[in-house]
A = this chain, B = another copy of it.
Amino acid sequence: MADADVVERFAAFLRERHLPVTQQRLAVADVLLRAAGHLSADDVAAQLAERGERVGLATIYRTLDLLVSCGLAEQRDFGEGFKRFEASRDVPNHYHLTCTMCGSVTEFYDARIVDIIRRVADHRGFVPSQHRLLVRGTCRACRKTPTVLDRRPL
């Protein structure tokens, strides 16, 4: 999907619901949906400021929620004490390897995990709706530097 389409899709969603298509909403969508990574509300604010776009934090939060509720973005909790947002891609459910030294996030997917979960849940009469796997550690680039064991909660 081309990038331009994603923002246009957001505009379409708004029109469909008879909601105003404002500059601010488009600006926030443009930043988040074009971003490769996982952005916090502050990250979005910073990028908007850099571009000279003036959007209040409250509006950013409100627009991020909109993007999530129309399915164009997803909200993530990496246990950092704040939320991050990520443009939805075609990857249905992926897992995260986060480097505790440089903060980089790598993604992977493995169907066997879904399978194991299904089996375990089934065995207990549990019906899974979502799941999430988070791995913390040190990435290749940071391995050279001496490691400090990260004790933050997962």
Contacts and interface: CB of A to CB of B under 8 A. Distances in A.
Interface in A29-84: 69, 74-77, 79, 83
Interface string A103-116: 00010101011001
Interface in A106-154: 106, 108, 110, 112-113, 116-117, 120-121, 124-140, 143, 147, 149-151, 153-154
B77 A97 contact: no
| Copies of this chain per assembly | 2
Q: Indicate the size class of the contact surface on chain A.
A: 35 or more
A99 B126 CA distance: 8
A142 to B, nearest CB: 9
Interface string A80-107: 0001000000000000010110000010
